[in-house]
Amino acid sequence: MESEIDENLGADTTSATRIDLFGVPVAAVTLAEAVDIVERAVDERRRLDIGVVNAAKVVNMQTDDELRGSVLSSDIIFADGMSLVWAARLQGKYLPERVAGIDLMYALLERGNETGLRVYCLGAEEWVSQEVAQRIKEEYPGVRLVGFRNGYFSEEEQADIADDIRRSDADVLFVGMSSPYKEHFMARWSNQMQVPVTHGVGGSFDVFAGKVSRAPRLMQDLGLEWLYRVMQEPRRLWRRYLHTNWLFIRMVVRAALAAQR
């Protein structure tokens, strides 16, 4: 059943609804509504830690308690993949559309280009990090890039990085690291960083910098972005996606059958 977002998320999200998908409260909002939620959180200097889930992450959350705890500590969680939209509908629940992490990042940069949004980018390889910083300056000149750093650092360095982010007075922190590292970092250091909005964008920096290409729109709409990634890195990814996709399909079938009883 759909339910309202918890009141402790603030006035911006209580008007949204969330649905339970495999124990994850996913916000049933459009991309435009998500951008509005973020913008109001920035205006009010109110903390909003954003989580995004796709099929693979939902599967991994079933057995990885630390990942599950980190994701569920987010203030709001969006459906990153079409597979979740379809899974919801098979259970008689409604998600208006997916809110992919990379799409939300681009949309926030577009809005921030008009509002002077202060952004800090953390993650990816050094050259990717520098390329992302350069492209933000060139393509979104109204955005104020207040800091950036690659995503390769030791556990001992994390506190200093969190302090650097706090001193930057950023409005939004984009964390471009893979799961579960970005979720753990965000959950652990959110209080210390004191950034109003923290958004884990995964591999989005690699796409932004041109290191990898994103799937064509048709494949995105058909929920086949995972296949496009496998085609680019078959040796590294095919076993992972074969395993998680099968487990997700099994979860969806069980949930759909249970919803019909």
Rounded Cα distance, 28 and 1, in Å: 12
Do the domain assignments include residue 229? Answer: no
- The total domain count for the chain is 1
Average pLDDT over residues 240-253: 89
- Per residue in 4-53, pLDDT tens? 334 334 434 445 799 999 999 999 999 999 999 999 999 999 999 999 99
101: left (phi over 0), alpha (psi -120 to 50) or beta: alpha
The confidence score (pLDDT) of residue 12 equals 46
Answer whether 126's CB lies under 8 Å from 146's CB: no
- Per residue in 145-169, pLDDT tens? 999 999 999 999 999 999 999 999 9
The confidence score (pLDDT) of residue 230 equals 82
Do the domain assignments include residue 227? Answer: no
Percent of the chain whose predicted confidence (pLDDT) is above 70 = 94
Rounded Cα distance, 47 and 64, in Å: 26
Residue range(s) defining the domain that contains residue 70? 3-209
Rounded Cα distance, 194 and 169, in Å: 8
Do the domain assignments include residue 261? Answer: no
Do the domain assignments include residue 239? Answer: no
124: left (phi over 0), alpha (psi -120 to 50) or beta: left
Identity of residue 102: I
CA neighbor of 27 nearest in space, from 58, 56, 42, 6: 6
The confidence score (pLDDT) of residue 58 equals 95
Q: Is the pLDDT of residue 1 over 70?
A: no
CA neighbor of 93 nearest in space, from 25, 6, 176, 189: 25
Do the domain assignments include residue 242? Answer: no
- Average pLDDT of the chain to the nearest whole number: 90
Do the domain assignments include residue 148? Answer: yes
Rounded Cα distance, 112 and 118, in Å: 8
Do the domain assignments include residue 51? Answer: yes
Rg (CA), the chain: 18
- The runs of H, that is alpha helices, within the chain are 11-14, 31-43, 55-61, 65-72, 82-90, 101-115, 126-139, 158-168, 181-193, 204-209, 217-221, 225-232, 234-260
Q: What is the pTM of this model?
A: 0.89
More confident residue, 260 or 9: 260
Rounded Cα distance, 239 and 246, in Å: 11
Identity of residue 148: F
CA angle 20, 21, 22 (to 5 degrees): 115
- Per residue in 197-216, pLDDT tens? 999 999 999 999 999 899 89
Do the domain assignments include residue 181? Answer: yes
Domain containing residue 8: CATH number: 3.40.50
